[in-house]
Chains A and B, each alone.
Chain A
Amino acid sequence: MLELKNVSTRYGQIPILMQVNIQVARGETVCILGANGAGKTTLLKTILGMVKPTAGEIYFNKQRIDSLPPHNIIAQGIAIVPEREGLFPKLTVENNLLMGGYYEQDPGNILARLAEVYQAFPWLPQRLKQKAGTLSGGERKMLGIARALLANPQLLLMDEPSLGLAPATINEVFNVITRIKRDKEITILLVEQNARKALLVAERGYVLQKGAVILEGPAAALQENEIVKKSYLAAGSF
C-alpha cells in the first residue's frame, strides 16, 4: 500500500534520510524504531509531502505521491497522529476533532465516526466545549489520535503515540491501537520509542539509525535481535 524507494531528504545541506526503503502492505501494522534524531518524524513528514525528498520515490496505492502537495496526499486517505503540539490550542476539543474530518463531505459519516471515537475515548464527550490548549498532556495525545481516526484513513501514521504518557495511559493508548487494528482493518505505520509495546502490536518493524534503515524484519524476529535488545529493549524501558 505504501512504498518508499531509496528516499533521501535533507534540511538545507544536512542529510537526514539516506536511501530509505520501506514497504507497508494493506492491513499491516509496521513499526519504526530509532533513537532520538534518527529521522523518524522526518520520515513521516516526507510521506505526507511536508518535506520533499531529494531523491527516491514514494508510492501510495501504486500511485506516485512524492511530488504532490501535502493536502493532496492526505486527501488520498492518510492521517497522522502528530508527535507533539499537534493540536489547535484555541479551538474547542470538538472543532479540533472536526478538523480531522476535513475531507469528509457527508455529515452522516462524521457523526458515525464521532460515535466510534467517543466509544474509544469515553472522556471526550464531556470535554467538547473545552479549549484544546487546556487539556492535559495525555488528553491532548489522545485527542490527536481521535482526530486522526475521524479522517477514517486507509493509512494511519502515528508519531510516538506514547510520548510523555504515564504507564497506565500508555497501556490505554496501545489498547486503542489494538482495537483499531481489530475493528477497522486499518493500515498503521507506527513510530515508537517504546519498542516493547510497539513490537507487540506490530507485525513487522524497521530500525532507523542516523537516517538509514539498518534492520528490518518480522516483529518477533526483531524482538530477539541483539541490536534491538541492546538499544531499545534494555532493562528499564518497561
Chain B
Amino acid sequence: MELIISQILNAVMLACTYTLVGIGFSLFFGAMDIVVFCLGDVAIAGAFAIMALSTVMGVYASLSGILPAPISGIIVVFIGACFTAGLVTLMYRAVIVPFEGKNINASLLSTIAAGIVIRELIGLFYPEGRNPHAFPQLLPAGLIGDNVLLSWRNIIIIAITFIMVMLLYWFVNRTKTGLSIQAISQNKEAAIMVGINWHRIIVITFLIGGFLLGIGGFLTASYFNSLRFDMGAMYGLKGFCVAVVGGLGSIYGAIVGGLLIAFVEVFVTAFIPGGTAYSSVAAFLIVVLFILFKPEGILGEKTVEKV
C-alpha cells in the first residue's frame, strides 16, 4: 500500500512535468495548426537559463543577499521563463513564419532542425555543456512526515503546475486576448472578420506558451535533480505524446494525457520486473494505440473526415 501511494505521488509529479510542455504543443497547434517539434529543447534551454542565473551568473546568490530565498527563487525562475518565452517567439519568427501556409513537411523539419540547433548551442556554449549537471536546489528539500516522496519539493512541483494551469484557464476563458486565442484556433477567418489582429495574438500565444515551457523545464530539472543538454529531445517527444493522447489542441487534455503517460511509465518501472528499461517503450506503445484507435484523444473532439 505504502509503495502504491508513493508511486502514485511519483506519477503525479512526473505528469506535472509533462503537462506543461504538452499544453505548449496543444496551444500552438490550436493557434496555428502546426506541431512545433523543438518545444522540449526550448523548455530545457529555459532550465539551463535558470541554472545559469543561479550558478555561474550568480544572480540568485546576490538576490538572496537582499531578499528572502523563496522570492529570489521565484524571480530567477520567472526570468528563465521569460527567456523561453522570448526564445520560442524567436523560433516562431525564424523557422515557422517562413513556411506559413506553404508546406507542412517543411515546417515540421525546420522546427526539428531548430531543436537540434538549440540543443547543440547549449552543448557547445554552456560551460561543461555536454556533461550532466546537478540542477540547483531552488525548491526546499525537507520532508513532510516520514514518507520519502512527500517532500516540500514535490508538493511545490504539483502546486506550481496547478497554479499555472489555473492561470492559463483564467486567461484563456476570461480575458479578451484569451478568447481571441480560442477564436483563432476555432475559426481563423471569422477571427479576422471580427477584427482580431491575428499576428499579434499568435505572438502572444507563443509568449504565453513559451513561458509555460520555461516553467515546465524548471519543474523537470527539479524533479530529476539533473540537467543534460540533450534531455529536450525526449522531453519534447513525451510532451507531444501527452498532447496527442489528451487530444491535440485541447489544453485540459494535456493534463489527462500527462497523467496517463506518467502513470504508465511509473507503474511499468515499479511493478514489472526489469521494467525500467521498457517504461518509455510502454509509453510510446500507448501513444501508438491511441492514434490507431482513438486519434481524437481523450478530450479532443471527434473530427469528421471531410469528403
Name A's B-contacting residues (CB within 8 A): 48, 50, 69-71, 74-75, 79-80, 82, 85-91, 95, 98-100, 102-103, 147, 151
Contacts and interface: CB of A to CB of B under 8 A. Distances in A.
Contacts of A87: 187, 190
Interface centre among B193, B199, B301 (most CB of A within 10 A): B193
B193 A88 contact: no
B198 A88 contact: no
B195 A75 contact: yes
B195 A74 contact: yes
Interface in B276-307: 301
Contacts of B55: none
* 10 pairs of A and B residues whose beta carbons are closest in the complex: A74-B195, A71-B197, A88-B186, A86-B190, A88-B183, A99-B194, A71-B195, A102-B195, A70-B192, A80-B193
B198 A71 contact: yes
B194 A100 contact: yes
A85 B187 contact: yes
Given A87-B187, A88-B187, A90-B186, A99 B192 contact: no
Contacts of A69: 197, 199
A89 B196 CA distance: 17
Interface centre among B180, B183, B191 (most CB of A within 10 A): B183
A91 B182 CA distance: 8
Interface residues of B, number: 19
A74 B190 CA distance: 12
A103 B195 contact: yes
Interface centre among A48, A86, A102 (most CB of B within 10 A): A102
A152 to B, nearest CB: 13
A88 B195 contact: no
A99 B192 CA distance: 11
Nearest to A78: B195
B179 interface: yes
B194 A74 contact: yes
Interface in B190-245: 190-199
Contact of B194 (A85, A89, A147): A147
B102 interface: no
A82 B186 CA distance: 15
B187 A86 contact: yes
B195 A98 contact: no
B179 A89 contact: no
Given A82-B193, A86-B189, 5 more contacts: A50-B189, A74-B194, A89-B187, A95-B179, A102-B195
Contacts of A98: 179
Nearest to A76: B195
A102 B193 contact: no
Interface centre among A70, A87, A98, A99 (most CB of B within 10 A): A99
Contacts of A103: 195
A88 B192 contact: no
Given A71-B197, A91-B179, A50 B186 contact: no
A102 B190 contact: no
A49 B182 CA distance: 22
Contacts of B179: 91, 95, 98-99
Contacts of B195: 70-71, 74-75, 102-103, 151
A52 B213 CA distance: 37
22 contacts: A70-B192, A70-B195, A74-B194, A75-B195, A79-B194, A80-B193, A82-B189, A85-B187, A86-B187, A86-B189, A87-B190, A88-B182, A88-B191, A89-B186, A89-B187, A90-B182, A91-B183, A99-B183, A100-B194, A102-B195, A147-B194, A151-B195
